Amino acid sequence: MKSNKRLLIITPLFFGDGSGASIYYQLLASELMKEGFEVSVISDEEEGVFSGGYFPFFKKRAGQKKRKFYDLVAYFHQNIAYIKMIFLTKKLNPDFILVHSSFYNHISIFPFFVNQAMKLTPNAQWTADVRDKLLPSQKLNYLNNFFNVIACSDNVRNYLIKNNIDKDKVSTIPVIQAVIDSRNKNSDRKPVIRQYIIYVGAVKEDKAVDLLLDAYVDFVRPFFPKVDFIVVGLDKSSAGSRIKNLLDCEGVKYLGKLSHIESLSLMSNAMLCVNISPIESISRVSLEAISLQKPTLLPPNIPEYQECCPEFVVSEMTAPAIGCQMRELLESQAIPNYPVINHSPDVVMKKYLTLFGAS
C-alpha cells in the first residue's frame, strides 16, 4: 500500500554531483516518492532538479576546497539558518525527519535546533542517519535523543553500540546503490589502450591516499612501468603534505574532481580500483567498482567485506603490503564476490519502509 506520509530530509548536501551523500539522498528521496511519500529537503545552495520541496538554507560549502574567510561566513550563516529551520520544521509538520549525523561533527547550535524542533513536532519520528564513524565519541550521546538511529554498515553499528547508543534504537540499513549494468559499460566507448589503476574520492590523509600513492610509486610502478595511477577527487590534503608531492610523481595522473558519470566511465576501464580508507563504512565507490566487475582493493575494518571477500580487503596498512596486494590483483584480475544485490533499491527500500511503518 502506498504511503501518504511526509518526510523531511536534513543533509549538508543533496545536489553535489559525485559525492556519496548527494547520490544516496537523491536516490533515497526518489524511491520514497515512488512509494507515495511527500519528501522535502533542507540542504545547501547547490542547484539541481527535484520534484519535492527543496529549501537551500546553507551556503554551498561541502565538496569545496577550504577557504578560511568564506568558511567562517558560511559557519555563521549556517548557525543562523538552524534557528530559522525550527520554524520551517514546524510549518512542514512532517511525519518523519531524517537527519545526517555529520551536523554534530563540529561545534554549533545544531543540538539546540534539534531540541527545539522536537518540541514543536511532538508526533514526528526523528531518525539520525549515521553514514560513517567520524562523529566524535563524546558527541554520540546526542543521538540517543532520536527515536531511531540508522547505521549504514555493521562497523558503524558496532561503533554506536560500543559508545552507549541504545542498541534497540539502532537499525542497520545498507547503503542504497543504483543498479549498474556492467555488460554495457563499454558499449559507447572507443577501445582503451591506456592501462591504469584508479582511486576515486576525497584526496586527503585520513583516507590513506598518501599510503596508496607511496605503495604505487615504490612498490607497483617499478614492476608495472606502463600502468599509471589515476586520482580523481577534490584535493583536501593539508598544505605542504606528502600527498601534494606524490601527485607529481611519474605515472601519477591527478584529474581533480569529475562528475559521477565521468568517474564511472574511468572506473569501468581501469585495471584495478582501489580504496583503503580506514574511516569508511561500506564505501559507495567500492560498491560501484564491484558492480562494474572490476578487480578492487577494499578498505579495512568492514565486517561485510571481511565475511564475503576477505582476500580483497587490504591486509596491512603499510606501503609494501598494499603494493604487494595491488600487484597480485593486477596480475590475477580477480573480482570480489560480494552480494551487491543487498544494496539494490528493491532490497533496501523494504528496510526503510519497515522503519517508517509503511511496509
> DSSP string spanning 36-99?
T-EEEEEEES-----SSEEEEEE-S-TTS---HHHHHHHHHHHHHHHHHHHHHHHHH--SEEEE
**pLDDT confidence tier of residue 63, bands split at 50, 70 and 90:** low
Residue 243 lies in a domain: yes
C-alpha–C-alpha distance, residues 7 and 119, integer Å: 17
Instruction: Assess contact for 210 and 231: CB atoms under 8 A.
Output: no
Tell me the average pLDDT of the chain: 90
26 sits in the region (left: phi over 0; alpha: psi -120 to 50; else beta) called alpha
**Cell 520514497 maps to which residue?**
32
Residue 96 lies in a domain: yes
Residues 27 and 167 in one domain: yes
Residues 194 and 302 in one domain: yes
C-alpha–C-alpha distance, residues 17 and 141, integer Å: 32
Spatial CA neighbour of 81 closest among 39, 43, 52, 119: 43
Residues 168 and 27 in one domain: yes
Residue 1 lies in a domain: no
Residues 165 and 268 in one domain: no
Residues 147 and 235 in one domain: no
C-alpha–C-alpha distance, residues 138 and 297, integer Å: 32
**pLDDT confidence tier of residue 166, bands split at 50, 70 and 90:** very high
- CATH number, position 186: 3.40.50.2000
> How many of the other CB atoms lie within 10 Å of CB of 2?
9
Instruction: Return the percentage of the chain with pLDDT > 90, whole number.
Output: 75
User: Angle at which helices 68-92 and 110-120 pack, to 10 degrees?
Assistant: 10
Q: Per the structure, how many domains does the chain have?
A: 2
Edge-to-edge strand list for the sheet holding 195-200 = 252-256, 227-232, 195-200, 272-274, 296-297
C-alpha–C-alpha distance, residues 187 and 47, integer Å: 31
- Bridge partners of 215, per DSSP, are none
Residues 21 and 75 in one domain: yes
Residues 210 and 150 in one domain: no
Higher pLDDT: 274 or 71? It is 274
The pLDDT of 112-122, averaged and rounded, is 96
Residue 196 lies in a domain: yes
Which pLDDT score, from 0 to 100, does residue 9 have?
98
The pLDDT of 154-173, averaged and rounded, is 95
Residues 195 and 142 in one domain: no
Domain that residue 332 falls in: 182-340
Residues 201 and 312 in one domain: yes
Coil/strand/helix, residue 10: strand
The 10s digit of each residue's pLDDT in 299-346 is 999 999 999 999 999 999 999 999 999 999 999 999 999 999 999 999
Residues 132 and 248 in one domain: no
Provide the b/e sequence for 57-88 (b: ≥16 CB within 10 Å): bbbbbbbeeeeeeeeeebeeebeebbeebbeb
- Bridge partners of 253, per DSSP, are 230
Q: How far is CA 225 from CA 57, 214, 216, 296, in A?
A: 49, 15, 10, 20
Residue 193 has pLDDT above 60, yes or no: no
Higher pLDDT: 74 or 243? It is 243
Residue 189 has pLDDT above 50, yes or no: no
The pLDDT of 194-221, averaged and rounded, is 95
Task: Check residue 181 and report its DSSP letter.
Answer: -
